[in-house]
Structure 1
Amino acid sequence: MYDDWAYHVSPTQYAPQPQPKPRRRRKSILQDVALEHTQQDLRSGGQNGTSNALRDVAEEITNGRPQSTRQLPEYTVPLRRVSSTSGLLKLRKELALETMPDNIIKENRSLTTYPFTTKEELLLMQPIGDDIVFMDLYDSLEKELQDANESMFIKFRNEAQSQLESCELYLSQTDSTLATFDSLAAGFEAVRKQTSSFQEASDALSIEHKRLETLANDLDKNLQPFNMLEEITRRLNAPGTDFVKDEGFKKMLLTLDQCITYIESHPNFNGIDVYHMRFRQCMTRALTLIRTFFISSIRDVSTDVQSRIAARNFSEATQSALFYTKFRVDAPLLQSLTSEIASRCEGHEEYASLLGDCYKAFINVRRRLITPIVSKRVSDLRNSIPDLIQLTRQSIAYMRTLCMDEFNLFYAIFTEGEDVIYDLLDNLCEPLHDILRSRIIHEKKAEVLYELCSLLQGLSTRESEEMEDEYFDSPQLDFGRLFQSTLQDAQVKLVFRMQAYA
């Protein structure tokens, strides 16, 4: 299919060459031969007749004179007419060689020129008698020369034609390959466009998917508070109150806070007032369960303590210890529950009312347990100590210990409620206040009253100094606050006694 020359020949060897200028028609063979021999004779100075005759013919041909004015010498050997130019040429060559001297052949052996051999050249130089024969000979020789010259060009033309056909074949194959490449490029371009379109569609779908996913998440987030309502309601309507002790109950309260906060921050939702009311009802229900559980626990502990004291008839010290030990067992749990109510009381009177019920339940239980013991102890002190100052000192020492225990127990169960605990302590100190008030009224010595006022004033001063010296995070008891009424009674009595002296 392919020629080997295309792979071994330099690309520039058969590259297109510049076209030569058109050449002039060369002279005939006879003119060339005549001119050549004429010049040779001139150089050698020969005088033979043949050379002179050829020279004359050459001049005539060159100068354009008619050849009829000059007659060529004839050979003596008779010639017969040949039937063709080739036969004439052969015959003339044989006759010339037979009659031509050897010295002339040797002399002209070095004069051979292309495309004639020495014998052919000598044959041309011999005179020919007949013009027709000469012309036939001339035409045959010119034709042979032309054929000989053209054979190389014909061969080159044939090779060039073959190479041209090969090149055309290569060009055809190249065009086919380029067409295939163009088809592939068009296919690739179509695939690229389809891929780009698919990528754009995929990106658009991905963006839409993200938007819908975000919307779904937002919807789920927005609907989550509303979906929690049913579960919270179901748990709160379950019988019993023991589940308030579970950790999940506190998480439920936190969820309720979040739901209420979310609903209050979106007042434009459809039917939001109904959901707000229902969530508030759930919160009230949950805090009510805490109050119920707290009151039940406090009463159960109080009943248990009273039953033990009544059954075994414990001593006063044992009873005091039992009053605080039993209540401290459940104090951490009760404090965590009451703190849940206290943290939500601001701005909600119903929650403050539930916390107030817890305070009342605790105060009533403690008053019912402690008041009989305090009354009995103060009565014993009054009967055993007639001196007012001594009675006051021992009573204050006893009440300090009792009030401190009650104060610490209160803040072990509640996180706030200062006014509540001081009301309880005032009630516990009431029997002592009554005894001291009656003694102060009947006291006539101003120095005793003065010393009593100094003692009662020193309570508040000493308590404030101790509170400044100690670092504390929890609330501290102001014991002097409990005897302000007694101090005022003593001061009023002292003023009256000073006025009597005046």
Structure 2
Amino acid sequence: MATVRPGTVVGASPLVKSGAVSKGYSFASTWELNAPLTEQQQAAIVSLSYAVAERPFPVNVSQDQSTGKGDDLSSSAESGILEDSTAIDAVLVNTHQFYKWFSDLESAMKSETEEKYQYYVSTLTERINTCDGILNQVDQTLNLFDELQLQHQAVANKTKTLHDACERLLIEKQKLVDFAEALRSKLNYFDELENVATNFYSPNMNVGSKNFLPLLKRLDECISYVESNPQYAESGVYLVKFRQHQSRALSMIRSHVLSVLRNASSQVQSALRDSNSNTTIVSEGIEASVIYIRFKAAAGELKLVLMEIEGRSSRKEYADVLMECQRLYCKHRLSLIKGIVHQRIYEFAKKEALPSLTRSGCSYLMEVDLAIFFSNMIISVIFLPSYGKKLELVDTLSSHKGKLNHISI
């Protein structure tokens, strides 16, 4: 007959080995090692076990009922004992009957003692299976999290790559925009040809227009740029066309200056004729008013234009136009004052001796030159000496030289 170890449940199925059981046992062992109980704590546990060994009756259960129940239990126990004793008292004739009786007795003991343990085993098995299922779900969830992490990393890498590509595209775009703006700024000089041509050939365009000088300045800028960049295609063609428009503009300026000077001269001459209608000699007040003030007012509109021309006189074409305008100015001014000056010197020559004539003539010419200098608005100082050459005071003095035998100072 097989021997049964004490404490071993006979006929019980072995516990299911799983990860939950091993983890639970490992946790319990670690707990016992890390937190051992002292003797005082163990004594307290024993006292508590004695105190709860016999559970008290509920309040709604009387002592009589409990006694009756106890009698019933004792009677059942006695009946069981009687049955056992009856079974024990059974007559066993042979070995076969003994084995049969022992088997029945063993089965009865198993059914009585192992039923609750079987229930515990089944419950634990269910819990273990549940824990294993939870662990499997946790493992699956962790795997999903790992996959999600990998996907997140892949998306982050793609996003970073896209961000870097966008930054590169933005940098390239900015470079292209800057290049386009630089190219546009350079092409603007060439595109300005059409605008210049349209404005200069417009019937409303004249030197007195407010757009004329800015347009001329823009034309000079275009010419300077095209001249300094001959490597551009068709730059020579554009330069020729720009110079044609410049020549037209300078011709318009010359014609305008000539027209203004003629009008001013005609006004002064008309005033002189009116003043000479009653007197043969022009008074000094009329002379100053007519020759200087009126001419200055009539020619004042040329100041701005000729200042612009003089500011650009470093270029040959502007220097030539400026000299031509100054020549015209000198010509018209001399045409107005020459007759009056000769008349004044002639009057001095009739009334005064040679020394006095010399003093008076030189003083008068100095006054004329000074008045011309302060009334001058468009002529450079370098052109002023040309007046003296035209007035010919020396000729008048020479004509009186031969008539004098003695000069008293």
What TM-score comes out, normalization by structure 1 length? 0.57
Shift of 1:141: 6.4
**Structure 1 counterpart SS, 2:206:** helix
Mean Cα deviation higher: 292-301 or 327-336: 327-336
1:201/1:330 Cα in 2 relative to 1: closer, same or farther (>3 Å)?
A: farther
Q: Does 1:435 pair with 2:396? A: yes
Shift of 1:379: 1.1
1:283/1:253 Cα in 2 relative to 1: closer, same or farther (>3 Å)?
A: same
1:271 partner letter: E
Aligned 1:231-380 pairs, distance under 5 A: 231-239=195-203, 243-313=206-276, 315-316=282-283, 317-348=285-316, 350-380=317-347
CA distance in 2, matches of 1:303, 1:210: 63
Shift of 1:268: 1.0
1:92/1:231 Cα in 2 relative to 1: closer, same or farther (>3 Å)?
A: closer
Could you tell me which runs of 5 or more consecutive residues in structure 2 were left unpaired when the two chains were aligned. 1-22, 31-79
CA displacement 1:170-193 (0-9 Å, x = unmatched): 123324433443454455445435
CA displacement 1:430-449 (0-9 Å, x = unmatched): 1x32233444566555773x
CA distance in 2, matches of 1:212, 1:313: 76
**Count of aligned pairs:** 332
Mean Cα deviation higher: 209-218 or 318-327: 209-218
The question of whether the paired residues in 1 share the 8 Å contact of 2:260 and 2:299 is answered with no
CA distance in 2, matches of 1:308, 1:351: 34
Matching residue within 346, 349, 354 for 1:382: 349
CA distance in 1, matches of 2:302, 2:193: 27
CA distance in 2, matches of 1:18, 1:146: 31
Q: Does 1:396 pair with 2:362? A: yes
Shift of 1:165: 1.5
The question of whether the paired residues in 2 share the 8 Å contact of 1:338 and 1:355 is answered with yes
Larger radius of gyration: 1
Shift of 1:255: 0.7
The question of whether the paired residues in 2 share the 8 Å contact of 1:236 and 1:286 is answered with yes
1:328/1:131 Cα in 2 relative to 1: closer, same or farther (>3 Å)?
A: farther
CA distance in 2, matches of 1:136, 1:236: 140
- Give the corresponding residue for 1:421: 384
CA distance in 2, matches of 1:180, 1:129: 69
1:169 partner letter: G
1:433 partner letter: V
Shift of 1:426: 3.4
CA displacement 1:90-110 (0-9 Å, x = unmatched): 327899xxxxxxxxxxxxxxx
Shift of 1:202: 3.2
The question of whether the paired residues in 1 share the 8 Å contact of 2:206 and 2:252 is answered with no
CA distance in 2, matches of 1:18, 1:134: 46
User: With CA pairs under 8 Å and 6+ residues apart, which has the higher RCO, 1 or 2?
Assistant: 2
Shift of 1:197: 4.6
The question of whether the paired residues in 2 share the 8 Å contact of 1:298 and 1:365 is answered with yes
What TM-score comes out, normalization by structure 2 length? 0.69
Shift of 1:376: 0.9
CA distance in 1, matches of 2:324, 2:29: 124
Shift of 1:285: 1.7
Q: Does 1:405 pair with 2:371? A: yes
Q: Does 1:223 pair with 2:190? A: no
CA distance in 1, matches of 2:26, 2:94: 48
1:238 partner letter: S
CA distance in 2, matches of 1:165, 1:146: 26
CA distance in 2, matches of 1:171, 1:371: 125
Shift of 1:136: 7.6
Cα RMSD after superposing both structures: 3.6
Shift of 1:393: 2.9
Aligned 1:7-86 pairs, distance under 5 A: 17=28
CA distance in 2, matches of 1:155, 1:16: 24
CA distance in 2, matches of 1:444, 1:151: 178
